[in-house]
Structure 1
Amino acid sequence: MAKQLTILFWGFIYGEVIGYILSALSGSTFEPLSSGLIAMVAGWIAVNCLTPFIKSPTKTSDSK
């Protein structure tokens, strides 16, 4: 549960920063809630979809 909350928190923070920079570069208005929520949900989905593909290394016994 803590991992999921951390992902949501940092996704929102990074979304705010990236949204602000992109709105300043494009000259459009900055919408903090939508940029944060979109990045938060996208980060949560990405991490949860990639987790099954990343496995920790397993110890193997050396048989001679």
Structure 2
Amino acid sequence: MAKQLTILFWGFIYGEVIGYISSALSGGTFSPLFSGLFAMIIGIVFINALDYFVKPASK
């Protein structure tokens, strides 16, 4: 549970930063809520998919 919350927190922070920089460079409008939530969803999906496919080596 703590791992999922950490992913959500940092996904939101990185989404804000990347969204702000990309909107400034492209001249578009910046939507903080959309940038943060989109990065959170992508982060959760990516980490869960990675955990599913990468299993620890059995002894």
Regarding TM over 0.5, the answer is yes
Partners of 1:27 and 1:42 lie apart in 2 by 24
What is the alpha-carbon root mean square deviation over aligned residues? 0.9
> What amino acid does structure 2 have at the position aligned with 1:21?
I
* Sequence identity (%): 69
Q: Report the CA distance between 1:33 and its aligned residue.
A: 0.6
> What amino acid does structure 1 have at the position aligned with 2:9?
F
Partner secondary structure for residue 13 of structure 1: helix
Unaligned runs of 5+ in 2: none
Determine the structure 1 residue equivalent to 2:42.
42
Higher helix share: 2
**Which 4+ stretches in 1 moved above 6 angstroms?**
none
- Whose Rg is larger? 1
The yes-or-no answer on 1:3 pairing with 2:6 is no
Equivalenced residue count is 59
Q: Report the CA distance between 1:57 and its aligned residue.
A: 2.6
TM-score by structure 2 length?
A: 0.91
Q: Report the CA distance between 1:58 and its aligned residue.
A: 3.0
Partners of 1:15 and 1:5 lie apart in 2 by 15
The yes-or-no answer on 1:14 pairing with 2:9 is no
Unaligned runs of 5+ in 1: 60-64
